[in-house]
Structure 1
Amino acid sequence: MPFNIWCGGCNSMIAKGVRFNAEKKQVGNYYSTKISAKTIDLFVIWSFTMKSACCKHEIIIQTDPKNCEYVIISGAQRKTEDFDIEDAETFALPADEERGKLADPFYRLEHQEEDLQKKKEAEPVLVRLQRVSDSRHSNDYSLNRALRDRLRSQKKRVAEETEVARKMGLGVRLLPPSSEDAAAAAAVRFSSKFEKNRRDKRAAIKAASIFVEPSSSASGSKRLELELKRRKIKAATASALLAGRVKPSSWQMAHISASGQTQRSVAVVRK
């Protein structure tokens, strides 16, 4: 695409330089006549038909040999862009009237003094720029050699850092060590598990009451003993059942009697 355009199908912008698979064909000829040389030049007018990638809309563009540009025939609209000459750092092209005046010898003679004055003002700057360019590019071999040496040392350093990272089991290349990184690493303090447990125990001790309750502790210990006895009775009955020495009915009765005794003992303790 020779310039920025707006697609006629979906109104999307197609940037300058986007490539298309276009159909090229000749649609006419343009004849240019030069009066001074008394010759006629023939220019072919080409037409390019393409489809936009956004909505498959057909766009037709033709060449304009007379104005030396491209013309949109259908399917799109050219995007108008205005810019400042100073911001774009370009030169303003002379208008058609100015071009006609430059062909006039009297007009050129009148502006010759101004052009010479501008040349004298810009000459020191141009000479200084030329000297700087000559000093930088006077010895191409030495500059190229210095550049290759620097690149070779850089590749060697990268290879060494990659090898060190591989030995350490890292997937990324480490940067060279510095004093700031060493100071920051030395200032880091990692908390261990021992310190955490000690802090938790101290917090539990501070949160607990300093007065001991003997009744509750005694009842809790007795309840624990009864639970252990009950588990032992169940384990002994199960082993006897597996060995075939006790019938299931008797095992159930023993279990019921044991649970009844346990309940009675718990009731006595509670009283």
Structure 2
Amino acid sequence: MYVFDLDTVELPFHIWCLSCNERIGQGVRFNAEKRQVGQYYTTPIWLFRCKCPSCKSYFAIQTDPAHTRYVIESGAREQLQDWNPEEHGGFPIHDPEAPSEDGAFSLLERKKTQQQDGAKRQARIEELEEHNRGRWADPYTRNAEMRRAFRADRKARLERAARDANLRERIGWSDDLPLVGESSTDLNLSTPVVRRDFYEARAKRPKPARLAPAFSRAQRAPQLSTAGRRLAGQLLAPGYAKR
């Protein structure tokens, strides 16, 4: 019989129970039996004995101070993951074979990377300084160009403000509500442009062909007999009157 303490332990990774083959997820907490099973230099090695919630069988995990991680002692097996849990909101897995960031080679590589980055930044700074010197070689000319551009922009802003005020007055638009600026679509749909496009399209439209009469007036006139022509002459005479 051995002496143990009760402590709350949280699974550091996903495991499979060897008794019922049920999966227990990372982060599940257990009231575990805690006892010391060894020592790594001056650091104690702790073993946690937990009960599976499905089959009530026991499994044990213990600390591994040499590699700063947990290992399964018995009753379960770790779920192997071929993806990076950090990309899915999980915790990173310790790789004991990965080079330490505090080692001499890591410090040398980090120093070399910093030197390369510093050289790139210095080249960019010199490029910006050269560009600035080229633009401000003649301060008077540069200042005149800026003032000219500002005056043109101010004139355009004043004209736009006057047009907006006129539009607000015509349509009864409140001064508190903003007006949307003009766009290329609005200019293409304005009344003068639409009217011009309409007349141009109508001028390009082919005119309908007028058909010539199939028969002339003389051919369409009925052929009268001699008596009929005599009667027609009497009826059309100016002095003829009905009796």
Structure-2-length-normalised TM-score? 0.37
Structure-1-length-normalised TM-score? 0.34
